[in-house]
Amino acid sequence: MIRIRLLLLAGLAFAIHPARSEVVIANVFARHTTSLNGQWHVIVDPYDTGFWDYRRRPYDESAKISGGFALDHLAGDRTELVEYNFDTSPALKVPGDWNSQDDKLFYYEGSVWYRTKFDVQKTAPDHRFFVYFGAVNYEANVYLNGRKLGRHIGGFTPFAYEITGLVKESGNSLVVRVNNNRHADAVPTVNTDWWNYGGITRDVLLVEEPATFIANFLVRLKPGTTNTIETRVQLDGPDKEKFVKISFPSLKLAADLMADQDGFVQYELPATNLVLWSPENPVLNDVEISAGGDSLKDRVGFRTIEASGRDILLNGKKIFLRGVCLHEENPRRGGRAWSEDDARLLLGWAKDLGCNFVRLAHYPHNEHMARLADEMGILCWEEIPVYWTIQWTNSETLANAKQQLADLIARDQNRASVVVWSVANETPVGEARTRFLKSLVEEARSRDGTRLISAAMEVRTDPEDEFHKVVDDPFGEYTDLCSFNEYTGWYDGLPDKIDRIKWSIKYDKPVIISEFGADAKQGFHADALTRFSEEYQADVYKRTLPMLEKIPGFRGCTPWILCDFRSPRRLLPVIQDGWNIKGLISSHGDRKLAFQVLKGFYAEKARATGAP
């Protein structure tokens, strides 16, 4: 075992503290936790009666909550007037969206109050407790024992609050007001092509930590090298100047070092003969970190990813990204996907298709996705919901988008599978929008300069020539990949138009077609010109793939989409019925003809590039 003591590298930016009362608790599944998942009592509250008083002032305006459902109060005797009761209210499953659990809530947008009760057994007197939410869509107001913990905005990223001083040994009441109203200034904004599932959609965990604990850590190859592991650790707590030990048992590497007064420490460990992670060989290494009474384990892969001219290099070798887009839905069960089993189902289907890459559209998916992708050897594109027409000049909207990006990076920065941070999808070209997106790119680069930055941009048609497609979005200057969505043959002409397309692409960067596709109702067969038939969709795929091959710099694609998914914008009776049916797999898990077309193309690509 090589033991190394290194000098502290001062002055390196590693911002992992969010600018809120929330705390970062990374790698939560490896911590000492108690699940708070299960049946929670709920009150559906369309008028937000539990939140506002009759003069429309919030009950939780001051630290002392003056009324409303947050108090979870039961009438003391028969004379007391209390007009709600969690105990006698129905229950919903957490995690879970409310839409797919109760027919009455299928289209519901508004507030639902959730309440669970729990007991706590401290294992040491100075231990601290946190309540952790994997995601709540879209806004959460969280209360413990009648005290406000905080308000969280953003439906797809984790957050946690400290509850040490508030929690009791028994009978704790945890109340969450969940509101999924859409807002023009929100991220996403009011208009999306996916279902606005409301609810506590991911795990809720009670986390117990020693007084000073490991809040987050970063483990990666030192940028520019393949023989040095760089590790950063951030402690949280009153006594931060502690020795922090890091070890990689299978690599026989270890180091320990004193954290600075801010609880930060950074190491560099020389590591010769590292086996690099790749889709063909997704090797993960155990890592153990300990500091004072806290210890944390993870499994991490080491790899490099870069764009070089028009190529994407993984571990220095050219790679073609055989991808597909995914929404976070389990079509078989219905509703939001959230579990490891859901992730296994979706990524398993992507593997069957021959993919080495998935685009997790259009918002951060649950943590199991990237963890499983690490194990299965699937590269990931992760994205925040800056979708279509966000308020580009609203500084709060920008701050919200940045926070979602920062939280996603803090959660998944140790996943070798994640190679792309995408800051937007199909946003309209314009100066304010480019400024907004550029600032997100800067945010991503400042937090993690080691992954490729992208966004799904759009194509324009030359006004002089309908067959001439041009990609010259000024935002393309700032990204590492030139990625765009294109729908020739579906929204733009009929499939035979595809054969005549010529391309002008302004950027000398790797080109990824982040979407193409067509609707098809699984089981509906007709000739290839009949909209919504499987034959039409298959024809679009058959023509599009060779057309893309003509693009100089074509380095991968993620067709739209692996599975049919619910969308309130897709209203054609009998055919769509509230589903976007561009999936290669139906809502019953059945494959359409186009699945085989793409699978054949990917098999050929894999053969041609020598990938297994």
Minimum distance of ligand GCB from residue 566's CB (angstroms): 11
CB of 543 to ligand GCB, least distance (A): 18
Residue (141 or 485) nearer to ligand GCB, CB: 485
Which contiguous run of DSSP H or E holds residue 253? strand 253-258
Q: Which is nearer to ligand GCB, 233 or 459 (CB)?
A: 459
DSSP, res 488: B
For residues 15 to 44, the per-residue mask of contacts with ligand GCB, x marking binding by CB under 6 A and - elsewhere, is ------------------------------
Between 142 and 437, CB nearer to ligand GCB: 437
Return the structure tokens found at 255. Answer: 């180091």
Residue 580 near ligand GCB by CB under 6 A: yes
Euclidean distance between CA atoms 274 and 25, whole angstroms: 29
> Cα 143 vs. chain centroid, distance in angstroms?
25
Site string for ligand GCB, 329-368 (x = CB under 6 A): ---------------------------------x------
Q: Give dist(CA 276, CA 270) in Å, integer.
A: 14
- Extract the tokens encoding 326: 């995914």
Burial 24-55 (b: 16+ CB within 10 A, else e): bbbbbeebbbeebbeebbbbbbeebbbbeeee
Q: Compute φ and ψ for 410, nearest 5 degrees.
A: -60, -35
Closest distance to ligand GCB from the beta carbon of 290 (Å): 44
In this structure, what token pair is assigned to residue 28?
Answer: 């939560």
Which lies closer to ligand GCB via its Cβ, residue 92 or residue 585?
585
The CB-of-325 to ligand GCB minimum distance in angstroms stands at 8
Under the binding rule (CB under 6 A), the answer on residue 425 touching ligand GCB is: yes
Our CB check for ligand GCB shows the closer of 40 and 560 to be 560
Nearer to ligand GCB, 426 or 443 (CB): 426
| Residue with Cβ nearer ligand GCB (259 or 540) | 540
- Residue 604: its H or E element: helix 593-609
Shortest Cβ distance from residue 199 to ligand GCB (Å)? Answer: 21
Binding mask 362-381 for ligand GCB (x = CB under 6 A): x-------------------
Q: For residue 373, report the phi and psi dihedrals to the nearest 5 degrees.
A: -60, -35
DSSP string, 53-85: -TTS-BTTSSSS--SSGGG----SSTT------
Contacts with ligand GCB, 202-231, as mask; x by CB under 6 A? ------------------------------
Per CB under 6 A, 522 contacts ligand GCB: no
In this complex, which beta carbon is closest to ligand GCB, that of residue 219 or of residue 390? 390
| Number of shown-chain residues binding ligand GCB (CB under 6 A) | 9
Q: Tokens 């002392």 — which residue?
A: 64
In angstroms, give the least distance from the CB of 569 to ligand GCB: 8
Does 193 help bind ligand GCB (rule: CB under 6 A)? yes
- Pick from 600, 568, 558, 550: nearest CA to 192: 568
| Shortest-Cβ-distance residue relative to ligand GCB | 193
Do 381 and 357 meet the contact criterion of CB atoms below 8 Å apart?
A: yes
Q: Are 6 and 255 in contact (CB under 8 A)?
A: yes
- Which residue type, as a one-letter code, is found at position 239? D
The residue to which tokens 């500091």 are assigned? 291
State in angstroms the smallest separation of the CB of 581 from ligand GCB: 9
Place of tokens 């209360």: 143
CB atoms within 10 A of CB 492: 15
The only residue of 515, 534, 535, 564 in contact with ligand GCB, by rule CB under 6 A: 515
Q: Report the C-alpha gap between 366 and 203 in whole angstroms.
A: 9
Minimal distance, residue 459 CB to ligand GCB, in Å: 11
Q: From the list 582, 586, 595, 601, which residue makes contact with ligand GCB (rule: CB under 6 A)?
A: 582
Identify which of residues 27 and 189 has a Cβ nearer to ligand GCB in the complex: 189
Residue-wise DSSP of 136-174 = EESEEEEEETTEEEEEEE-SSS-EEEE-TTT--SS-EEE
Smaller CB separation from ligand GCB, 357 or 560: 560
- Per rule CB under 6 A, is residue 100 in the interface with ligand GCB? no
| 236 lies in the site for ligand GCB, by CB under 6 A | no
- Cβ distance to ligand GCB smaller for residue 503 or 560: 560
Collapse the DSSP code of 471 into the 3-class scheme (helix H, G, I; strand E, B; otherwise coil) and give the result: strand
* Closest to 294 (Cα-Cα) out of 217, 241, 235, 253: 235
| Both tokens assigned to 547 | 């057309």
The amino acid present at 583, given as its one-letter code, is G
State the nearest-atom distance from the C-beta of 296 to ligand GCB, in Å: 37
Contact 282, 301 (CB under 8 A): yes
468-507: contacts with ligand GCB (CB under 6 A): 485
| Smallest separation (angstroms) from ligand GCB to the CB of 387 | 7
Q: Which is nearer to ligand GCB, 340 or 458 (CB)?
A: 458
Is-contact 256 8, C-beta < 8 A? no
- Judged by CB under 6 A, does residue 179 bind ligand GCB? no
Closest distance between ligand GCB and the C-beta of residue 517, in Å? 7
Q: Which residue number, 382 or 515, has a Cβ lying nearer to ligand GCB?
A: 515
Q: How far is the CB of 598 from ligand GCB (least distance, A)?
A: 16
The residue whose two tokens read 């699978």 is 599
Count other Cβ atoms within 10 Å, centred on residue 576: 17
Among the listed residues 18, 28, 121, 22, the one whose alpha carbon sits nearest the alpha carbon of residue 367? 28
Q: Does 426 contact ligand GCB by CB under 6 A?
A: yes
Which spans of this chain sit near ligand GCB (rule: CB under 6 A)?
193, 362, 425-426, 485, 515, 560, 580, 582
